[in-house]
């Protein structure tokens, strides 16, 4: 059986740079930071007092006040991104096709804001005052579940949880499901909203977050010698994936094609990447092999690039081990320098950015790269975007627990 070709026909984003894909893309190309002081709670006394928040988002206008109150913020953000992807792809979900339409929206953490709030209620008012919606609002699969209900999509529906690789793995699983012929269409991506007291305190406790409180917009500085941790972000991003046959049958013009997915485990440490990025390198190699792409065909890499000391060093080493001398010729950027780290949703946001780099003929920059690190000596596209045609690109995602996922997208050709 010849596998189906899988194309991207729509995208959606709700991010710290904008409430849709167009405004987010504009912010990325302009090198604008979405980071600022935390406004969702009083962060006085916390080691980190800033984050990359989504501003001006109104879930009531999206799904109605009653429904919005029964959704954690991560679900709301995921729903917004999916509805934009549906509109972007111009797909109608009907009785004739709904059993062949899948929704797969990942979250690494799930409804931690709801959980945190309700633990407060438990302490102040006792167990009888806990919301009956606590459990269904906090479950990590609820963005996927609630969005499938909004759309009436009855194909496979689940959320892959693999920390910061969650969304990339979910996109990979959706890709494989369409390749096999299990479904015709999949809305695949991720959403996350963990900017709350326990979320910030927890990441501070494991020394993961930047503490550059005096200059938040310059705190996320991937591959820079003075990087001191990542910046917590929130948001949602979704790709409309479709078999080429399905897209052609309705006259849709693909934005790009997804051709490769690689997933590996470090089996090394709960938070630290494997030495020299060994597991990450295998994920990249596996994705290239499935895509039947040679190293010199990749014209852009959207790096995981978290702005943490070990990740950036080892990702650089992994790229060198996979691409050899070609590594020095490939433009690389970490858009986390502007959006912060969306945790389980980061792979989806960066997959959409990678697709847009192919379709828009532009590579977003890495901002805040001021002091060269001898261990990070590749072309990280500092400060200014790079214009020009990109025929194939890779997006990398690596997570706590030793999860690694890489995706390869290519310019669509008939």
Burial class (CB in 10 A: 0-12, 13-18, 19+), 287: buried
Contacts of 284 (CB under 8 A, 6+ apart): 262, 318, 319, 322, 394, 396, 406
d(CA 394, CA 201): 33
Q: Of 80, 81, 26, which is closest to residue 360 (Cα–Cα)?
A: 26
Residue in the block written with tokens 């929130």:
234
SS3 185: strand
d(CA 32, CA 260): 30
Q: From the candidates 164, 196, 376, 403, give the one annotated as an active-site residue.
A: 164
Q: Is 164 a catalytic residue?
A: yes
Q: From the candidates 196, 207, 268, 341, give the one annotated as an active-site residue.
A: 341
Q: Are 354 and 302 in contact (CB under 8 A)?
A: yes
Q: Are 398 and 165 in contact (CB under 8 A)?
A: yes
Q: From the candidates 196, 304, 376, 403, give the one annotated as an active-site residue.
A: 304
Q: Are 343 and 403 in contact (CB under 8 A)?
A: no
Residue 243 parent element (H or E): strand 235-243
d(CA 229, CA 234): 16
Q: Is 403 a catalytic residue?
A: no
Q: Is 196 a catalytic residue?
A: no
Buried b (16+ CB within 10 A) or exposed e, 174-185: bbebbbeeebbb
Q: How far is CA 54 from the centre of its chain?
A: 14
- The upper half-sphere exposure of residue 11, i.e. CA atoms within 13 Å in the direction of its Cβ, equals 29
Token pair recorded at residue 116: 């945190």
**Catalytic residue numbers?**
164, 304, 341
């Amino acid at each position: 059986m010849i596998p189906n070709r899988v194309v991207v026909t729509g995208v959606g984003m709700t991010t710290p740079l904008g409430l849709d894909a167009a405004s987010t893309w504009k912010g990325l190309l302009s090198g604008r930071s979405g980071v600022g002081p935390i406004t969702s709670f009083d962060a006085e006394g916390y080691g980190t007092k800033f984050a990359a928040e989504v501003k001006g988002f109104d879930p009531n206008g999206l799904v109605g006040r009653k429904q919005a109150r029964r959704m954690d913020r991560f679900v709301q953000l995921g729903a917004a991104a999916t509805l934009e992807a549906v509109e972007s792809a111009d797909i109608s979900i009907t009785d004739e096709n709904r059993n062949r339409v899948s929704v797969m929206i990942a979250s690494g953490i799930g409804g931690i804001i709801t959980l945190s709030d309700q633990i407060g209620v438990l302490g102040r008012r006792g167990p009888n005052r806990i919301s009956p919606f606590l459990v269904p609002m906090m479950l990590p699969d609820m963005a996927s579940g609630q969005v499938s209900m909004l759309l009436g999509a009855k194909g496979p529906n689940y959320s892959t949880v693999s920390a910061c690789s969650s969304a990339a793995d979910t996109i990979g699983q959706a890709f494989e499901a369409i390749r096999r012929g299990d479904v015709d269409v999949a809305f695949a991506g991720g959403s996350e909203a963990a900017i709350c007291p326990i979320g910030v305190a927890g990441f501070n406790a494991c020394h993961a977050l930047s503490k550059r409180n005096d200059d938040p917009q310059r705190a996320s500085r991937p591959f820079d010698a003075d990087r001191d941790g990542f910046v917590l972000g929130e948001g949602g991003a979704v790709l409309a994936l479709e078999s080429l046959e399905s897209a052609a049958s309705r006259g849709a013009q693909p934005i790009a094609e997804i051709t490769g997915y690689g997933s590996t485990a470090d089996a090394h440490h709960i938070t630290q990447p494997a030495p020299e990025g060994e597991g990450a390198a295998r994920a990249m190699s596996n994705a290239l092999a499935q895509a039947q792409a040679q190293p010199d065909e990749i014209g852009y890499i959207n790096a995981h690039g978290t702005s943490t000391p070990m990740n950036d060093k080892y990702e650089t080493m992994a790229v060198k081990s996979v691409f050899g001398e070609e590594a020095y010729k490939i433009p690389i950027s970490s858009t986390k320098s502007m959006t912060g780290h969306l945790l389980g949703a980061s792979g989806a946001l960066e997959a959409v950015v990678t697709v847009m780099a192919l379709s828009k003929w532009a590579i977003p920059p890495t901002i805040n790269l001021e002091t060269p690190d001898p261990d990070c000596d590749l072309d990280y596209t500092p400060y200014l975007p790079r214009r020009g045609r990109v025929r194939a690109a890779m997006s990398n995602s690596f997570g706590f627990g030793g999860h690694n996922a890489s995706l390869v997208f290519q310019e669509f050709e008939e």
